[in-house]
Structures are given as C-alpha cells and as structure tokens.
Structure 1
C-alpha cells in the first residue's frame, strides 16, 4: 500500500506495530485496529485490493507457512474432518491464505462494500475473542453441524474463549499467557516449524 501511495509507510508501520503489541498483550480493541487497517482501502474496489493481496500472500505469507501446519491439515483431511479457518483478520486476507492451504471454508472479519467500493467499515460480529464463538455457532447452525469432537489450534491468548469451547484444544507456538494456561489445563502444546 505504501508503494501505491495509499499510506505513508513509516507512520503506517509504526501504528501497526503499536496495535500488534496491544494484540500480543491481549489488550487490542479490534474495532480500533480494523478502522486503522481499513482506512487506506476506503473508496477502493474489492478488485483493486485483491490485486494487491494475491502477490502479498505469495511473497510474504507462503514462505512463512509452517510445514507442520500443512501436515496437520493433511492429517485432519485424511480423517475426513471438515476444516474451517476462523481468523481475526479481514476475510479479504483470510480467504486467499486458506485457499493456498487447500481450505475452502473460512470465517473472518467481513468488510462493508457500498456502491462497489469498500467503505472502510466492517459488517457484523468481528471474529475476535468471543466473537469467534458467536460467528462459529452461527456457521455451525447454518451448516447443520456442531462442535462435537472439534479441534481448534491457536497461538494467541485472544483465542482462549474458543479453545475452552472445543473438545480438542491445541496450542501452537503459543504466547506466554496461552502457554501457561495450556500447561495448567493439560492441553497439547505444539512447536511448529
């Protein structure tokens, strides 16, 4: 976005780091983060944004996808498990990343489109903390599914509400708060590379 003049790269990255520090500390107001991150997209078409997201996924995200994550996905797929990515990121980012992993079903933060362009706002319940549970339960109801036997993988304390809800919580490269909780609860702790 900086190369296109949509943002001042230095100030954007500085604010992004501040907000990500708040996320890591479990203190992020997701509404504030989304307003910040979506502001440069306001007035742009989904196609304009998708044109940037594809190369970003290929150049930045694909090289850091853990091979152990791919193995885990393959194991669940071999067992016939239905696989859903649920993320606190915008669905415009989550969907292409999931597609690279061969996953078609995603829940992410929905972006508002007005008259064919992004408004800079979100729509509905944000898939963050307890909002992940709300959105997941809505999805399960719509799909005629339930959480029986469900597994969930996370690295963040922000996902504790959903981890506590599933039968098989798994923590992966966890933050210190999540690691402590997982150890006390006897949850599997994975180190993925």
Structure 2
C-alpha cells in the first residue's frame, strides 16, 4: 500500500474553494462584496504567480469568520459544498481516486485552504484523511487566526512529514497530484509526481523532467 496524495484546488475541483467561499460570504452578507472580492482576486493573482504570503491571505479571508462558532460555520459550509463545489468536481479526479482505492492505496488530500472548507469537500469525495490550514478556536469561537504550520509550499512537506511520523507511514511509492508551481517542493519529494492542468511554470518543469501531464475535466 502506497500513499496517493492530492492537492485540492484546481486539481480535484475546477476552482479555488477559498475564493468560492469568499463569494459565499458575500452572499451571506458577512462582508462588503465589491471591496472584499477585489482584494481576494488581488491575493489569488499573487498566489498564481507564486508570490503570495499565505499568512496575508488567511488573515484577510478569516476576518469574517472571527467570532463565529465552528458549528455555525459548518452548518453553512455543508450546503455550500453540495450546491457550489460538487458540480465542479472533476470526473477524471473521481476516476483516479477510485483507481488508487482499488489498488489499495491510502488516500490523502493536502491543501493550502482552511480545514473548515477542505474537510467537508474531502468528505464529499469520499476521502477521510486530509491536511489543511488549521483555524484557531478560543472560548468556542474562531479567532480569525491560524494555528501550526501552514500547508503551503514547503509547509506542505513539514506537515506531511509530521503526519507520516504519527501514522507510521512513509513516502515509498507515493504519488502526488497538483496543478500549481507552489507545489513543486512536494512534487519533487515523491516517487510519482503527476501534474494536473498545470500552470505554465509547472508544465515547463514537468516537460523537462518527463512527468505525466494530465488534463482533467
């Protein structure tokens, strides 16, 4: 049994769940729509160029969640996953997950989005295990801060190594699927890197190194 590791945004789904949740928070009336979505786009454009400080994005995107209980947020995330996320899950991703599951591989999602979003989306994909950016809870409510190492760029490796140690697992024969240049550190760490609908920088690297390039729809 080997690990099959999947990035989430633009890999398993055709979109970025954090930005889609930002739009949902606008619909819920939690934020001023125009200015919030403009700032979200600016930060996500920086992510696409590999220039984002994830701490900045999380501080921005979690501000409307601060003071709300995990139960309140969970209650609103679940129907959002059904209505917004499920229609944009790549069917090819589901086929790939099923093939790994049939092979007996252990499946893990590792994402640079918040755990309050990643967990329910992974569950909708039938995946129980995930690593994501953890949110701080104090006195029963979200503070708007994160805790621990952020699962972004090299942080994905740090968190994964901690998880491997806890689970008495290893990376022998592991696969990793991602669309983003930001995941190059982890792609270089596994035996079987796969790039999915890659950005230009990742595509060039994959072509130079003979990595499989997948077009998922």
Normalising by structure 2, we get a TM-score of 0.88
Structure 1 CA distance for aligned equivalents of residues 161 and 187 of structure 2: 14
1:1-50 CA distance string (max 9 Å, x none) = 22332101111111111111001000010000000000000000001111
Alignment-derived partner of residue 145 in structure 1: 169
Pick one of 58, 68, 91 that aligns with 1:44.
68
Alignment-derived partner of residue 120 in structure 1: 144
SS at match of 2:126: coil
Structure 2 CA distance for aligned equivalents of residues 85 and 5 of structure 1: 30
SS at match of 1:17: helix
Structure 2 CA distance for aligned equivalents of residues 5 and 61 of structure 1: 20
14-23 or 2-11, larger mean C-alpha shift: 2-11
Matched, 1:22 2:46: yes
Q: How many residues align?
A: 193
Pick one of 116, 119, 131 that aligns with 2:155.
131
Query: Where does structure 2 lack aligned partners over 5 or more consecutive residues?
Result: 1-24
Structure 1 CA distance for aligned equivalents of residues 214 and 28 of structure 2: 39
Structure 2 CA distance for aligned equivalents of residues 38 and 22 of structure 1: 18
Alignment-derived partner of residue 192 in structure 2: 168
Deviating 4+ runs (over 3 angstroms): none
Superposed CA RMSD: 0.7
Alignment-derived partner of residue 127 in structure 2: 103
Alignment-derived partner of residue 155 in structure 1: 179
Structure 2 CA distance for aligned equivalents of residues 187 and 56 of structure 1: 35
Normalising by structure 1, we get a TM-score of 0.99
